[in-house]
């Protein structure tokens, strides 16, 4: 089973089109799949859009009435899938943004990499179309701020949230972690999650992807100051690699 997991907050303009494209991609791929969306206290029409698509897609929607933020919504999805999966050594969880910056077509390559033996596959943003100024600045500043912590990461782009995980890796990390897997938001949450999961993955790989800010239907919520403040707390991060084998896709 492939679980496509989407944290969403006020994405009524995009989430319906995203779900429809996921349906088309997965129909062509021919694998069993479920879409899980965490509606993170949306105040627009996101809930109504999701309710319509739940009638025609294998879609499960979980809603929080109080805002959890990206990290909280993502962890909620991870915990639900880890508990639900019947075949954790074979099942795959793919994380995808709800604002259409990450294309559903990448799901296929991510899932195939897991089927090929990887336990964790991270997207690498090799091309970023029409990024907002704040994103450009954060991308430039992050390597300077994080120094060796970023350079020694097990994947080229630990900031990117487009990833695939073998579910057994998630179960092991949750079993060994007393508390949440992530404490920070945004890109810092992506790094924290990677740090917690890598020790449980025998093989880690990466996939070059294109990030499309030109397709988003709303103003970017990315804020450089908050992003860099969150990353600053990770400057002394040490990657625990144990027996993991790190290979490029």
pLDDT recorded at residue 249:
45
pTM beyond cutoff 0.75: yes
User: In whole angstroms, what is the distance from residue 205 CA to residue 123 CA?
Assistant: 9
Per-residue model confidence as pLDDT tens digits over 95-105: 999 888 888 99
Q: How confident is the model at residue 238 (pLDDT cuts 50, 70, 90)?
A: low
Bridge partners of 210? 127
In the predicted structure, residue 122 carries a pLDDT above the cut 60: yes
Q: How confident is the model at residue 246 (pLDDT cuts 50, 70, 90)?
A: very low
CA angle 228, 230, 236 (to 5 degrees): 95
pLDDT recorded at residue 98:
87
CB 221 within 8 A of CB 187: no
Q: How confident is the model at residue 149 (pLDDT cuts 50, 70, 90)?
A: confident
Mean pLDDT across the stretch 180-198? 91
CATH superfamily of 2-246: Spore Coat Polysaccharide Biosynthesis Protein SpsA; Chain A (3.90.550.10)
Of 37-51, 97-111, 161-175, 206-220, which range is least confident? Answer: 206-220
Name which of 123, 138, 126, 97 is nearest 232 in CA terms: 138
b/e string for 99-112 if b means 16 or more Cβ within 10 A?
bbbbbbebbbebbb
Of 46-50, 90-94, 174-178, 214-218, which range is least confident? Answer: 214-218
């Amino acid at each position: 089973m492939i679980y496509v997991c989407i944290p969403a907050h006020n994405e009524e303009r995009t989430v319906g089109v995203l779900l429809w494209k996921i349906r088309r991609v997965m129909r062509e791929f021919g694998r069993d799949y479920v879409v899980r969306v965490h509606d993170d206290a949306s105040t627009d029409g996101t809930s109504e859009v999701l309710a319509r698509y739940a009638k025609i897609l294998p879609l499960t929607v979980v809603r929080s009435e109080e805002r959890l933020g990206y990290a909280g919504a993502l962890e909620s999805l991870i915990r639900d899938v880890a508990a639900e999966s019947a075949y954790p050594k074979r099942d795959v969880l793919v994380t995808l943004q709800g604002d259409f910056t990450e294309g559903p077509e990448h799901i296929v390559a991510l899932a195939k990499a897991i089927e090929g033996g990887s336990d964790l596959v991270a997207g690498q943003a090799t091309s970023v179309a029409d990024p907002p100024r704040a994103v450009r600045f954060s991308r430039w500043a992050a390597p300077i701020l994080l120094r060796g912590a970023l350079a020694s990461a097990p994947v080229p782009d630990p900031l990117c949230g487009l990833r695939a995980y073998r579910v057994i890796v998630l179960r092991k990390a949750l079993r060994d972690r007393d508390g949440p897997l992530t404490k920070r938001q945004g890109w810092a949450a992506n790094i924290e999650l990677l740090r917690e999961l890598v020790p449980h993955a025998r093989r880690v790989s990466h996939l070059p992807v294109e990030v499309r800010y030109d397709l988003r239907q709303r103003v970017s919520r990315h804020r450089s100051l908050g992003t860099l403040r969150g990353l600053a707390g990770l400057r002394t991060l040490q990657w625990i690699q144990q027996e993991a084998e790190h290979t490029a896709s």
